[in-house]
Amino acid sequence: MVYGVRRGPNLDLELIFDFIAGRAKDLGEAPQAAFEIASRRIVGIEHAREGLGCVPH
């Protein structure tokens, strides 16, 4: 049996991005650095989510 990951609207990822970027700025990061931090985390989340379809259940 082959598993896959169905992608729905990315609203959750947008909210997570906004949260991470906002907290990074609150902690003193420059806006561009906060954007990069949040971007890297979202890419990591997307890779982890895609990998779920490869894991046997």
Does any domain span residue 6? no
pLDDT for position 49: 83
pLDDT on residue 19: 97
Number of domains into which the chain is organized? 1
Q: What is the pLDDT of residues 14-40, one digit of tens each?
A: 999 999 999 999 999 999 999 999 999
Q: Give a yes or no: residue 29 inside a domain.
A: yes
Using only C-alpha atoms, what is the Rg of the chain? 14
CA distance 9 to 29: 29
**Domain assignment of residue 45, given as a range:** 11-51
In a domain, 43, yes or no: yes
Look at residue 57 and tell me if it is in a domain.
no
Q: State the SS3 of the chain.
A: CCCCCCCCCCHHHHHHHHHHHHHHHHCCCCHHHHHHHHHHHHHHHHHHHHHHHHCCC
Q: What is the pLDDT of residue 42?
A: 95
What local confidence, expressed as pLDDT, does residue 34 receive? 98
- Span 36-57, pLDDT tens digits: 999 999 999 988 888 877 766 6
Q: Assess if residue 15 is contained within a domain.
A: yes
- 21 located within any domain: yes
